[in-house]
Structure 1
């Protein structure tokens, strides 16, 4: 066992030269992840795909997810890993972004992939399907085809699953053809059998993140939401420096370092047709010209530190943006309540994401708090990410709040999760797969003898999960509620076995 001593944590961190040399020598020009050491090269991709599917799907239950189980804090076991696309290309440096999305967000995924050429991006794609509980149809051949396609499926699911697979086939093929201009892509298509219509609007977001993380095999990983892209210098310069990468890996592993990536939003005042152009401009700024980013914020009001203009300053205030604009080296920051930055960390030190959460509310706060309270944090001076504008999701907190305000003005309006809101066309297209009309999700949820809307139940339950997690963290007694599928994979996948130092 090699013992390593670090002296101080100043910007010019001293690391024993021999240690850095040894780490640099182990890094080939074309980075090979741990999966390559664990699976023979001739069958690496097929083996990795099959190993992942086998460990994940061994825990699958086809009975369907129920809203009452979500309310009880029971993670879904009705997610089935239907297909894995694992690039034959080799990553050129040891960083993986992992993320989650649905079929609506594939364009954002492609943009994220383009922003990390040479690095790995793993995306878990969610496909909600209605439960097959009840009598099957009279078409025995169709039912047999569905059974071959995947467990828990019925004839009505066949077009949806095949269409989703074809779409991802195309996305993956395009990315493979892009070669040096895009990331090394791994895609996971997971369908979930949902018994209650409301769950078809609430992605099991942390379960999807856990699934994506299981397909990473690099030393450094970062959970980065799909609508975020990395600045050009991350892949072009930072990760191309063996000395820099060696330092980042060493401190991440030995000092539990979390490398903070400052994040920016495009201002909603920018006309919609121009927003992606603004995002691209912010991403193209060189690290020597960070002052241009400050001008884009303070002078031209085109961008702003993430969520600041939307009123949630606590989320990223601790990053200390004013210091970052003038800093030429990484600097320390400290946890403040509500802090939820995106960061790189050692893959083996990133804990599971609490699988009780569904939808886009409170889940990232818990994950960041759990990790960063136990980590050292340093802000990278030459790396940043930019949020690409997108249409608000049905389960997005901001849209839910907007609908809540709308209902106060117009009492006859139905609420999101009670009715589809502004996504009627998309939900109509999902209706055949779900097996029942989502637009009629207006019946109240009955839980423990109390009737309430699914929207209110969603808010209350995620707040409860958040508060209970924080309470346990304060007594150092918190362990994220893991989904059994990812937990099983982490125990058995060869690239998740620690190698001797």
Structure 2
């Protein structure tokens, strides 16, 4: 399984200073990427594909227009495996998920589940996500980051214990974006279970690389991009099934500039009599999300792809071979919106 992430280092580029010129910044980024790739190749048992993408702009405020969905699609293009995990880079998969995927019999069940057939609809496999908190115990004090690292290799019963002590919680507990996963049920579950899609549901999932809809490239900055993608899956006909013994752990980090800007825009919106701030990233994302929902409801939506993603999907050999196999094979997917 390869992971489609969505974050990278991006900074404003000005040509007035040699050290911050486009050429110097790009050269430095390439050197860092090459060094990181070498370390990862030496340390990890799997192959790492590292794609360095950059975008030039003239004003620092353009960093708020981070091309989130375009980069997600680029990551997906690099995948050569049947299954992909749509996980953010700050979400750490549990060892139990790796162990499942390393078992051919279990992996084949995932293939069948995500592909679907003429008899049953395809599914995405929801991987519950958790956040951690600092903790004081009789064995010492532990930071949220240390607990995150521990929970990656822990067994589910240990995770349940920390849940009971309030050291971990479900991701984004104050929002409804993960309510449909039914965490209390998951903590006791030993088998997969299906959940009903709810508005604004945005879990991280495992899915079929070839068949799941692409991300809409018009979304930039923070907000709506992942929510709308999951909503598109629902309208396309996908079922949502929850993995009973695998999970993701969020590793704590500083808030991104785009997230801070999103929160600021929301506060500004609440102060205005008219409500929506259309000239902000928040206003753009919210308005675009509303238009897409209306199109989905009338079956008029088609995912907007940037030219590079569309061209690569048509020409990359590992996409062409699989695409031919999918169209001529035994599995079909109806009402694909992308």
Secondary structure of the residue aligned to 2:84 is strand
Deviating above 4 A after TM superposition, structure 1's stretches of 4 or more consecutive aligned residues are 269-273, 402-406
Q: Deviations over 1:272-297 (max 9, x none)?
A: 971111112222222xxx24323312
Change (3 A) 1:240 1:404: closer
For 1:141-174, what per-residue CA distance to the aligned partner results, in whole angstroms no more than 9, with x for missing partners?
x9xxxxxxxxxxx992221111111111111000
Match of 2:289 in 1: 466
Q: 1: distance between equivalents of 2:288 and 2:41?
A: 40
Number of equivalenced pairs: 311
Q: Is the 2:131–2:249 Cα contact (8 Å) retained in structure 1?
A: yes
Alignment partner of 1:324 is 2:186:
yes
- Aligned CA RMSD, in angstroms, stands at 2.9
Aligned-partner Cα distance in 2 for 1:196–1:175: 34
- In structure 2, which of residues 13, 17, 30 is the aligned counterpart of residue 165 of structure 1? 30
**C-alpha spacing 1:462/1:270, structure 2 compared with 1 (3 Å):** farther
Cα distance in 2 for partners of 1:402, 1:251 equals: 41
Q: Which has the higher contact order (CA 8 A, sep 6+)?
A: 2
Query: 8 Å contact 2:262–2:281 — kept in the other structure?
Result: no
Question: 1:281 is matched with which residue?
Answer: 150
How many angstroms does 1:455 deviate by? 9.6
Q: Which residue of structure 1 lines up, in the alignment, with residue 8 of structure 2?
A: 102
Matches of 1:478 and 1:403, distance apart in 2: 27
Larger Rg: 1
Any unmatched runs of 5+ in structure 2? 271-276, 330-338
Question: Where do 5+ consecutive residues of structure 1 fail to align?
Answer: 1-94, 104-125, 143-153, 409-453
CA 1:469–1:285 in structure 2 vs 1: closer, same or farther (change >3 Å)? Answer: same
For residue 342 of structure 1, report the CA deviation from its aligned partner.
0.6
Conservation of the 8 A alpha-carbon contact between 1:258 and 1:372: no
* Partner residue, 1:493: 316
For 2:101 and 2:66, how far apart are their aligned partners in 1?
33
Alignment map for 1:311-390 (pairs within 5 Å): 311-312=174-175, 314-373=176-235, 374-390=237-253
Q: Which position in structure 2 is the counterpart of 1:447?
A: none
Query: TM-score, length-normalised on structure 2?
Result: 0.84
Describe how 1:172-211 pairs up with structure 2 within 5 A: 172-180=37-45, 183-211=46-74
CA-CA distance at 1:405 after TM superposition: 6.1
* 2:166 equivalent among 290, 301, 304: 301
Q: How does 1:415-434 map to 2 (within 5 A)?
A: none
Per the alignment, residue 57 of structure 1 pairs with none
Deviation at 1:199, TM superposition (A): 1.3
Give how far 1:480 is off: 1.7
C-alpha contact (below 8 Å) 2:82/2:111 kept by paired residues: yes
Q: Is the 8 A contact 2:222 2:262 kept in 1?
A: no
Counterpart contact for 1:214–1:490, Cα < 8 Å: yes
Matched residue SS, 1:190: coil
